[in-house]
Structure 1
């Protein structure tokens, strides 16, 4: 998959060695602009969603099974449109416009929350539409990041974007807490501010981001011309027969299937120790802070030593977070340690996995391929949340976590040699 090059070859191409002084400041301006859009959109979304699991469990008296189902739907709604948005973006060769539609839909949904009032079905519908917007925008956005980045800086570029994106996820809950402290129980104020912030994020991508250069979207990896007819449902299906890409989908989906969602994990933590309801959103903030801090270093390290070691290290950190929650006596110190490991897991896996996939995808089908990949992992996360909720209801939260830890370790042991064979090929 990776072709070795001599130092002389690299100098002739005027490229830097992975371990040279290249830094995150050298990534393309498109990455920073898309990062700004994601930062503002995440501020908007996380202002609303940070208290959602607590609201379901405490205010509406939902059972753990019902919370798991709703959490799975909230995460899994994006899979309904990801593949189609990727196919449309590749065929029209306008990933910016497709991504902008997704950002616009999510912005409008913030006003929908004002209209929904106290109707649970209406609120659930609006939140699902918000996630559909996320599904539309994710693959085209990642494809633009890949198209604007040098191959030796892919993981770093994704790390920069994820760091900015996660900064929004950190700021959003804090802003919501600040608004409620100034205007207690005035949730409409949160929805209005959330809409305004999302609108600014939409303006950034519409006004300042350009579609990738023609060469990035019109040529295949070997430089041959690629027509629009080459982008079709048949070509999308053909991607699944590409051994390297199919292996990444299977590995990513299997790992997602044994991963507990953050919302359910935080509810387990709340069960293990006393956490005031007002401090519950800070769990999201600490995790996002760790993600933001380590995303760029993890991307740089992956570009230097290889994507696979960093990716699997991330899942090792996740297993460590589960172990702390299961074994240790929980207090604020051990809770922070668990959140540090959880945020570090995201930093080592999220952008790095996208970079791994980008290296094996043909350029003209990059958006479609990334959409297929995220669809597989999204469906697995939906199923994982539902299964965890069921096992929690039957056997308790701790026993459910033990089952998922066992599954995670087993999948890691099987996935390591499988991915190694792909890299060798």
Structure 2
């Protein structure tokens, strides 16, 4: 038995300033799923380096997988949703795969096993992301896509903020109890999957009616309107350092960051939560490209502050705030920008293409940063990436403009 909800983009709800019901339901799914994923993500860098004993290069490899392996299924997930015309069930498969990886995690003790579990989790994310975003775009007023994606990302970020808090509480109650984190994480993932299956409407997209073919997909994705934004997104992704590395750099410098490591994710996510909707609206009004590039300016400031030789609680909080600004200005804005550059029939694949480029670029970035950290140390590595980002951002702006 399924609960059916009908959304009418651009209708009365949009006129009244509210987002579609489907967006809120998908936001709830993402909230529960992010509680699950961020419980694990918030302890993984410290667990792998301090408990398992991985080197910065080895952690860079795993962080690269975490950042980039989902790229291998993003386009496949987007195309499958476009081709069938019912993206929901492709998203269900992706969320289900990630949920299963949570319950397998306690049995993964070696580097190879941990790599396999992280890979499965990220492949599930890659499969679900584009179909989910295509549902959001399908259910929303085209003039308010930035707001719709901002609301979804805000709900997603509530979960991302709660996840580290739950993990921190569990570790406080059971020191070293990582198995309990994995089991509770699985329970939240199953709850999110249940909301998706039972309550999210199985919207038929325009893509399904058009029966999109591979040749048309290749033509649209490789077309001139999308090519330049994809190049810009890839260049920016190459100079984006993963959160885990930034937090490890803060921990390397500060006792404060080391004592409260899982809660660093909370600080970033609270800032993201507060700013996702306002910056989404700002992107709708001023231009999504402007906000996207400005968000990378906040990331540049993060690099510079994290590279300082001394910090303290105040400076750490500023870094977390700026990192939240970066995500609020980019995470929902990029799919909103891309979704208006391709026809409705290839929307999911177009969004997936941009996300794939970013994921692959960040995979390479994590590997490069891990090697630089191992050779030069965190401070020099951060400053080199700061210089690279300062050079790339103006070029990306020209491409996007």
Q: 2:207 aligns with which of 209, 217, 242?
A: 217
Q: 2:281 & 2:182 partners in 1: Cα distance?
A: 37
Q: Which runs of 4+ in 1 moved over 6 A?
A: none
SS of 2:301's partner is helix
| Shift in Å, 1:180 | 2.3
The answer on whether the counterparts of 1:146 and 1:358 sit within 8 Å (CA) in structure 2 is: yes
2:43 matched residue in structure 1: 51
Which of the two has higher C-alpha Rg? Answer: 1
- How far 1:273 moved relative to its partner? 1.6
Give matches, 1:14-413, under 5 Å. 23=17, 26-116=18-108, 118-214=109-205, 216-218=206-208, 226=210, 228=211, 230-232=212-214, 234-275=215-256, 277-327=258-308, 329-413=310-394
Q: Deviations over 1:283-314 (max 9, x none)?
A: 11100111111001101111122212211221
Structure-1 separation of matches of 2:386 and 2:178: 37
Q: Following the alignment from structure 2 to structure 1, what is the Cα–Cα distance between the partners of residues 110 and 162? A: 28
Give the conservation status (yes or no) of the 8 Å contact 1:231–1:365: no
Distance in 2 (alpha carbons) for counterparts of 1:328 and 1:114: 37
Is the 8 Å Cα contact of residues 159 and 295 (structure 1) preserved in structure 2? yes
SS in 2 for 1:184: coil
C-alpha deviation, 1:328, in angstroms? 6.9
Aligned residue for 1:417, secondary structure, equals helix
1:94–1:314 distance in 2 versus 1, CA, 3 Å? same
Tell me the distance in 2 between the aligned counterparts of 1:69 and 1:386.
6
CA distance in structure 2 between the partners assigned to 1:174 and 1:77 by the alignment: 26
Q: Name stretches of at least 5 consecutive residues in structure 1 with no aligned partner.
A: 1-13, 220-225, 421-425
Structure 2 residue runs of 5 or longer lacking an equivalent are 1-9
Q: Which region of structure 1 is more displaced relative to structure 2, 92-101 or 72-81?
A: 72-81
Quote the RMSD (CA, aligned, Å): 2.0
1:57 deviates by 1.5
Render the CA deviation track for 1:225-265: whole Å, top value 9, x for unaligned: x2x2x332x22321243112111110001001001111011
* Aligned partners of 1:43 and 1:197 also within 8 Å: yes
Distance 1:419 1:119, change over 3 A: closer
Give the TM-score, by structure 2 length: 0.93
Paired with 1:39 and 1:245, the residues of 2 have a C-alpha distance of 30
**Deviation of 1:197 (Å):** 1.0
Q: Secondary structure at the match of 1:410?
A: helix
Residue-by-residue CA offset, 1:127-150 (whole Å, 9 max, x unaligned): 210111101000000111011110
How much does 1:398 deviate? 1.2
Q: Distance in 2 between matches of 1:77 and 1:241?
A: 22
